[in-house]
Amino acid sequence: MQEIRLHWELFKSGVLSRRTSELIMGRLLSLQTLVNVEYLRTHPDTPALYDSGLRYAAEGAYNEEWKSIPVALTGDVLDCEDAATFRAAELIASGDDPEARAVFRGRMIAPGRRLYHVVTRRGDGTIEDPSRVLGMGTRKRPRRLTP
């Protein structure tokens, strides 16, 4: 297996504007979803996200590792962009919802600081939050991912 790492300095002051960073993040989510769709089409025996045994765990602050489906399935946890792109790809590859997409929502948490969360938007506009389905927000929190 070949590992490819991309390094982006999104949302870093003086590098890219928030608007440009958000545009790039949206495109990267689309790319991750397309990679996952291709994987699912060539590996139809892949377990469904909600049957996979994977659980949600937040990554550390300023630590983002985006996992494709085969990488995610080698572990036991994933975070919001991994779960949302997995779920969107699953809906697209199965034909259940060819218009499904992973999208992000941002909210201000401090002056000049936003928190982003990635969810799956279905073709009819409804939002599905795979992270919540996989345990985000429960009283018993899964362990945090470490670098």
Q: What is the CA radius of gyration of the chain?
A: 15
pLDDT of the chain, 147 residues: tens digit per residue: 677 877 788 877 778 888 898 999 999 999 999 999 999 999 999 999 999 999 999 887 667 789 999 999 999 999 999 999 999 999 999 999 999 999 998 877 777 777 789 999 999 999 999 999 999 987 554 454 544
Dihedral pair phi/psi, residue 27, rounded to 5°: -70, -40
Q: What is the DSSP letter of 92?
A: H
pTM: 0.87
What are the tens digits of pLDDT across the range 39-72? 999 999 999 999 999 999 988 766 778 999 999 9
